[in-house]
Amino acid sequence: MQTEVAPTDRPDFFKDAVHRAVELLAAGEPVALPTETVYGLAADALNPDAVAKIFIAKDRPAFDPLIVHLPHKDRLPEIAIVPDDIAPTVALLIENFWPGPLTLILPKNPAVPDAVTAGLPTVAVRISDHPVFQRVITSLKRPLAAPSANRFGRISPTSAAAVLKELDTRIPLILDGGACHAGLESTIVKIIPGDPKPTLRVLRAGPVTKDDLKAFGRVEFANAAPHPDHPVAPEAPGLLASHYAPLTPLRLLAEGEIFQPVPGRRYALLSYRGDPDDGSFGLPCWEHSIVLSPGKGKLPEAAVRFFHALRQLDELGVDEIIAEAIPERGLGVAIMERLRRAATPQPVPPA
């Protein structure tokens, strides 16, 4: 199979690309589409055969559920059941964050294939605000399952070129909508009823932060990753212990830790703000370094650049990527969550 990359940066290109994508999706084929977060590999969420092609293209295990994207919020009952005790909170979150990078975990409608939810009784659902994705899904008039458009466990793609490197010859079409403007996958929230306020349990941190959510309930973060040696079906996508990982081993430094290089090994650095005062940036051992947000360090800029920078470092052929810690506030929580999942487990010294 030859993978076509269709541009969307001119009105005539946009129209042709959307038409081609809708044709393929209606025929049960997967298509890579841009979202505001990362590129997704989309297929008709209510067609089990089409969903199966997502898992095959990505080498994704069947126990890892998918997010379902809706054409419009009015279509939510086709995919999910909203219990009465959380319905007011669901309505508020939808009003404030849809379309956008917030995914809700809700009881699933029986019409949703078990392959989409990995057999779980719940489904992950959101609406993307990317204009290309929106035009495709509203033209198709069907919900789309769309995990990130990369090989399973690898670095999430934020450009069409990155998708092509991951899935060339595995899928028929990629729509090139430019670079993703959020750069991190959506925030995933499960609502727990409570009085006087519900609990918003964040299963995966993302662009919608704790500060954004706290007006709607008590926010808590769940550590949902299973042990890597004992994988079980996670409650939502992107929660496995090892995920977002480069092929090159990655080591995450603790906050304030000074890196100690091993002579003869080649290293690359992923730095937050490129400041020698952070501890490691000024060391002479780096074959290459990328700074996520030079100077004062702006977390939104770091989030947008994160996956692209990680992919660049992974292609250098060094022995190890060293990553500085990011301040765990706002978007920094989401970046650090992904760095921890991307990091290569370090050997435990003998007792």
Examine residue 192 and state whether it is found in any structural domain, yes or no: no
Strands 267-271 and 320-323: parallel
- Interatomic CA distance for residues 20 and 139, integer angstroms: 11
- Of 176, 206, 240, which one is at a domain's C-terminal end? 176
Q: Is 169 in the same domain as 302?
A: no
Instruction: Say whether both 127 and 8 belong to one domain.
Output: yes
Q: Taking a C-beta distance cutoff of 8 angstroms, is the pair 142, 44 a contact?
A: yes
How far is 200 from 194, CA to CA, in rounded Å? 10
| 78's tokens | 């086709």
Cβ(246)–Cβ(162) below 8 Å: no
User: How far apart are the C-alpha atoms of 204 and 237, rounded to whole Å?
Assistant: 8
In a domain, 279, yes or no: yes
290 in a domain, yes or no? Answer: yes
Which of 6, 18, 10 has its CA nearest to residue 132? 18
Q: Which residue has the tokens 């929660």?
A: 239
Instruction: Specify the CATH number for the domain of residue 314.
Output: 3.40.50.11030
Classify residue 220: in a domain, yes or no: no
Q: Are 331 and 293 in contact (CB under 8 A)?
A: no
- Domain membership of residue 284 as a residue range: 250-342
> What separation in angstroms does the CA of 37 have from each of 64, 124, 227?
19, 16, 27
The encoded tokens of residue 266 equal: 């080649």
Torsion of CA 27, 107, 183, 227, to 10 degrees: -110
The rounded distance, in Å, linking the Cα atoms of 42 and 101 is 16
| 275 and 155 within one domain | no
Domain boundary among 145, 176, 207: 176
The verdict on residue 321 lying in a domain is: yes
Contact yes or no for 46/112 (Cβ under 8 A): yes
Residue 38 shares a structural domain with residue 165? yes
What does the pLDDT profile of the chain (351 residues) look like in tens digits? 899 999 999 999 999 999 999 999 999 999 999 999 999 999 999 999 999 999 999 999 999 999 999 999 999 999 999 999 999 999 999 999 999 999 999 999 999 999 999 999 999 999 999 999 999 999 999 999 999 999 999 999 999 999 999 999 999 999 999 999 999 999 999 999 998 999 999 999 999 999 999 999 999 998 644 444 444 557 778 777 667 889 999 999 998 888 999 999 999 999 999 988 777 888 999 999 999 999 889 999 999 999 999 999 999 999 999 999 999 999 999 999 999 999 988 665 555
- Domain-terminating residue out of 176, 196, 215: 176
Whether residue 116 sits in one domain with residue 23: yes
Residues 76, 93: contact at Cβ < 8 Å? Answer: no
In this structure, the strands spanning 250-252 and 320-323 are parallel
The domain total for the chain is 2
| 144 and 292 within one domain | no
What tokens were used for 30? 């997967």
Residue 308 located in a structural domain? yes
CATH of the domain at 43: 3.90.870.10
